Each structure stands twice: as structure tokens, then as C-alpha cells.
Amino acid sequence: MPIRTVITHAKKHPGLIPQFFFLVVGMTGASCYLIRLAKGPHVSWNRKNNPEPWNTYGPNYQYKLVAVNTDYKALKKEGPDF
């Protein structure tokens, strides 16, 4: 939808302004989350040069978006190097 059309509708019907606002906020949030998922350590875009990208991160790398009870700085590596 062109911006001029949105502005015209918003001037004629001011009740649509919150709807347009939340539509833009939702689309922006969804786009940012998709970008975060695509750049995550579990995604391998280049299998020839980096077949296992998750092995390059240490045990203190925070994989989750929100970590409530886990202190990632205090974690130590458990297991062998591959």
C-alpha cells in the first residue's frame, strides 16, 4: 500500500491510525525475528567452507533470545574438541 494512500485513509478515518501503527510494528518485529533466525548459529549457509557453524561458538555463547536463570558467562566447556 503506498504511503500516500495510508495517509489519506488516516485523515479520513482517524480510528485507523492505531491499526496502521500496530501493523507496521508487527511487520517490523516479524522481519527482525526472521533475520535473527537466519543468522543463528544453527543455520549453515555455506556447507563447503563451514559445515558445522555451531562448533565455532564457545560454551558461554547465549543461543536463546531471553535467558532468565542461566548465567552464560559462568559456564565451562564439558566434553572433547572435535
Sign of the dihedral defined by the CA atoms of residues 23, 24, 27, 33, in that order = negative
Q: Count structural domains, the chain.
A: 2
In terms of domains, do 57 and 73 share one? yes
For the entire predicted model, the pTM comes to 0.61
The per-residue b/e assignment along 36-75, b for 16 or more CB within 10 angstroms, e otherwise, is eeeeeeeeeeeeeeeeebeeeeeeeeeeeeeeeeeeeeee
In terms of domains, do 11 and 29 share one? yes
pLDDT by position in tens, the chain (length 82)? 688 988 888 899 989 889 989 999 999 999 999 998 888 877 888 888 878 877 777 777 777 777 777 777 777 777 666 6
Q: Which domain holds residue 19?
A: 1-39
